[in-house]
Amino acid sequence: MAQPFELCIQGQVRYANKHGIPFYAVNTGHGSTTSQTRFDGIQIDLSILPSGENLPRGQTAWIQGGSTVEVTVDELWGQGYVTTTGGAGCPGILGVGLGGGHGLLQGFHGLVSDNFVAFNMVLANGRAITVSESFYSDLFWAMRGAGHSFGIVTSAEMRVYPRSDRDWSFKLYIWTQDNIEPVLGELIRMREDGEPRDLAFNFGSYALYPGLGTSEIRQPYLPHLPRPSPLSEAQPYLAPFYAIPALITQNGSAPYNLIPRVTGAGADSPQCERGRTYMHYSSYLQEWNVTAQRTIYNLFAENIATNPTAFARAAVLMGDYKHDAVAQVDAASSAYPWRDRRLLKYTYPPLSVSEDRKLTENVSNVVINYTPDPSLDDFALTWARRTKELWDGGQPGIPGAYYVNYAAGDESPESVYGYEPWRMQRLRALKVKYDPFGRFSYYNPIPIRRGR
């Protein structure tokens, strides 16, 4: 039986269809693709849905459509469980998961989308259905990687895992820009020597660090060690980084549920602030070209210097995720297309990496954010687009690939949803079947021929 909030959403969708009004469901509003700017109609606010999680069998939880990452993590943690989520606390967990969903646990349990068991959802015609491997299995395939284009999810059943009460450890370095090459050189050697067993996530950025004035700095290494182990166990592969003089180093540890907050990604962190303009592009990298990385930094520094006050919070972000469990999932089993886009090797110096060491996945993202000022928009957009071009140019012969959750909105559908011809054919056919009039066409839409 449909719940009251599902009936409400059904009513809104049917009303909008009857009167020819576009509709669009949002949760916390963290989608940043420019395709959203074409929307003008009824906004359906999912954040009003209950956020409580239910554990009927101790193996799965029902996550409500209004739940954020931080709320989900905290409520499951309190019941003795964890599940795969995004790394930042503020986005809605279903918005993250419908596009795949990268996070700290993906190397152990897969993407967020790999852990969906079922969806309660409202279709474009206002009909409420439950989707799983057993019911509407074709739609279940699409929802895991391209779900924003097929329906409004009111709740989802996800696999959960017993939590570990032992803390995670992390290490933070802040280096000046002249250490980009040495730091990346050590990262190369660390990967060549073998993937550290306990490294879940390696985060780097070009950013201005608070308290250091306008000095351009490099924050390229933030490992989280998810095994219940002290930081001392990481010394064999962290030791070379101690030899590179850093402005700041910081050791820390915390329970898994608090790691985003203590590392600056909690729901109240600056990156979750509303009311700012965001210009951004991203790229999955098959190879991380250090020459390109230096050029990207130089562009960052030059553009920051034009207006250091306005662009003080601009950043180039580089996330290197553990990939083991993601790679073990059959690539054809869901609409998520980029299981092969793992960090295979760094290209400086040229080193070969054996197949069994291809265990990380690199997602890079440039975010130019500032207090709204239309006079800065063209400059910031050009800056962000040029950064993406430099990333893509650093891996010649490999088509650009873009994470749907970070897509800017002007990428080709194939570069977002996969280059294999069968993927787009299948997605288009499902779009015609479940949304023939293209009602869900405001989040990196899948193009179809509109029905009459």
φ/ψ of 124, rounded to 5, equals -65, -25
**Predicted confidence (pLDDT) per residue in 232-291, tens digit:** 777 777 788 888 888 888 888 889 999 888 888 888 887 788 888 889 999 998 767 889
Return the number of other C-beta atoms located less than 10 Å from residue 410's C-beta. Answer: 11
CATH topology of domain 168-254+275-406: Vanillyl-alcohol Oxidase; Chain A, domain 3 (3.40.462)
| The CATH classification of domain 4-163+425-434, taken from the options 3.90.420.10, 3.30.700.30, 3.40.190.80, 3.30.465.10 | 3.30.465.10
Q: Distance between CA 309 and CA 317 in Å, rounded? A: 20
Q: Are 412 and 403 in contact (CB under 8 A)?
A: no
**pLDDT(342) > 80:** no
**Predicted confidence (pLDDT) per residue in 12-29, tens digit:** 999 999 999 999 999 887
For residue 415, give the 3-state DSSP assignment. Answer: helix
Band of the pLDDT at 32, cuts 50, 70, 90? confident
Say what the pLDDT of residue 346 is. 31
> 172 CB contacts (<8 Å, ≥6 apart)?
219, 221, 222, 248, 249, 250, 251, 252, 263
**pLDDT(214) > 60:** no
Ranking 60-74, 154-168, 229-243, 431-445 by mean pLDDT, the lowest is 229-243
Q: Distance between CA 92 and CA 46 in Å, rounded? A: 9
Return the number of other C-beta atoms located less than 10 Å from residue 312's C-beta. Answer: 14
**pLDDT(345) > 90:** no
Segment 151-156 mean pLDDT: 96
More confident residue, 113 or 321: 113
Q: Are 219 and 207 in contact (CB under 8 A)?
A: yes
- How many CA atoms within 13 Å lie on the side-chain side of 25? 30
φ/ψ of 340, rounded to 5, equals -90, -5
Among candidates 299, 296, 307, 207, which has minimal Cα distance to 248? Answer: 207
Q: Domain map of the chain by residue range? A: 4-163+425-434, 168-254+275-406
Q: How is residue 411 written in tokens?
A: 């990428």
**Predicted confidence (pLDDT) per residue in 166-186, tens digit:** 888 888 888 888 888 888 878
Say what the pLDDT of residue 55 is. 64
> 235 CB contacts (<8 Å, ≥6 apart)?
none
**Predicted confidence (pLDDT) per residue in 89-133, tens digit:** 999 999 999 999 999 899 889 999 999 999 999 999 999 999 999
What percentage of the chain exceeds 70 in pLDDT?
Answer: 84
